[in-house]
A and B are shown apart, each in its own frame.
Chain A
Amino acid sequence: MQTAGGVSACLPIHSDLDLVWVRQHVRQAAAQLGFGLVEQTKLVTAASELARNTLIHGGGGQMECAPVAAGGVQGLRLAFSDEGPGIPDLDRALMDGFTSGEGLGMGLGGARRLVHDFKIDSRPGGGTTVTVTTWLSVPPRPREER
């Protein structure tokens, strides 16, 4: 694993201002790893959605940002975790248009489409962790149906 300076970080998510910080850090980290403008924008937007979920549904938490490498390809991994109430029905939460708040209901499903790997770990009452990874170039492999 190669670590680029300034890419790894653990940022708190407890207010609107922290969301700005998260977006700026992810944009810088992605640019530093050599992501193109489109991938940067997609990753920052996904981070914005997930960080807002952490804040609003999870009651605050943190984002861990780390560079990863697999099969000679570099990527950026973001993990958003909270100690909130968890997601009772994951399939429903990932459905477009489903919302438990006042949003559009596109956040979770949309974020999944904006990144290459998407993993969600949630237990009712046990908090939620969403881990997403975007690779500099997608390694050749069978694509899962999304």
Chain B
Amino acid sequence: MPEQETAAHRRTPAQEVAGFLRDRQEQIAQRWADAALFRTVFTHSRDEAVEAGRAVVDALAAVATAEAVEDAESGGFHVVRDQLARTAASRARAGSSITDISREVDALRPPVTELFLAEFPDAPAEHVRECTTTLTVLMGTLRLVVLETALSEGEEVIHRQRLQLLEVATPVIKLWEGIVAVPLIGTLDSARSQVVMETLLDSIVEQHARFAILDITGVPTVDSLVAQHLMKTVAAARLMGAECIVSGIRPPIAQTIVHLGIDLSSVLTRASLADALAYALRQQGADIVAREGAGSEYR
């Protein structure tokens, strides 16, 4: 490189790109507003899209100034991370796949490169090449950030749904004075069984329950871990003075438990929830009998 290059060309490629982004912020934002990514998200007004574009250009300029064009964690991106996440989420809701979104972010690059090349028609080719490479890397990092936020948004949703399931799937129902029941549904992993135990023990105290029925009709697989959880729950309820009945043991499950070799003889079991309720009522001195004079149709 000759010694007598102009001041502008002594800037590093990243600084050059940062300066360009700042100078041409408005033009880039205007062009982006017509790109699929912004156009489809900000459908109400074009001004909104331009505004969003300006914020992203600002962020990119900040990242370039920090000489961190390859760093997706760069502080410059923090400002627009939420906005990018909303954009990605909005595209995902509209049915775009991650690949679609990636392609749409990629489509933001050509207009910027075009503007950049038009800006420096006379600069040394070597310098321009370095700068466009830097710009390309920067836009690649932007794409990475968008995809990252899109994916973490998905993980967030899954996590929330898991938590919701924990709560939803374990209602404790008061069947009668002193009798509560938990209809267990789905997989009884450690986290779920812990929630079941806690809510059941709480409701035993609240309802002054003497009988607690654990109905496993909705549990597809009873292996040794599930059995262990059941036995622990039964033992804990017993310590609190409530008798536990496990109901809803279907024939295949019963045969499997026998083959598995698990000894459930310490646990009171009944085939159906109705049997368990009838047992608990009888233990309390109540019986379900047909009303006198009620016809046989109610039998």
Residues of A within 8 A of B (CB): 16, 19-20, 23, 27, 37-38, 40-42, 44-45, 48-49, 52, 96, 103-104, 106-107, 109-111, 113-114
Chain A hits for B259, CB < 8 A: 42, 110, 113-114
| Contact residue among A41, A96, A103, A107 (Cβ-Cβ distance under 8 Å from B256) | A41
Q: Can you list 26 A-B pairs, Cβ within 8 angstroms, ordered by A?
A: A16-B189, A20-B189, A23-B187, A37-B252, A38-B251, A41-B221, A41-B253, A41-B255, A45-B221, A45-B223, A45-B260, A49-B224, A49-B260, A96-B261, A103-B224, A103-B228, A104-B224, A104-B225, A104-B228, A106-B260, A106-B261, A106-B262, A110-B224, A110-B260, A110-B262, A113-B261
Chain A hits for B261, CB < 8 A: 96, 106, 109-110, 113
The interface centre, meaning the residue of B220, B222, B223, B228 with most chain A CB atoms within 10 A of its CB, is B223
Asked whether B166 is an interface residue with its Cβ less than 8 Å from the other chain, the reply is no
Chain B hits for A109, CB < 8 A: 261
Chain B hits for A38, CB < 8 A: 251-252, 255-256
Shortest C-beta distance, B260 to chain A (Å), equals 4
CA distance A20 to B226 in the complex (A): 13
Shortest C-beta distance, A114 to chain B (Å), equals 5
Across the A-B interface, how many residue pairs have beta carbons closer than 8 Å? 69
Asked whether B227 is an interface residue with its Cβ less than 8 Å from the other chain, the reply is yes
Q: Is the CB of A20 within 8 A of B187?
A: yes
Q: Is the CB of B221 within 8 A of A104?
A: no
Shortest C-beta distance, A92 to chain B (Å), equals 16
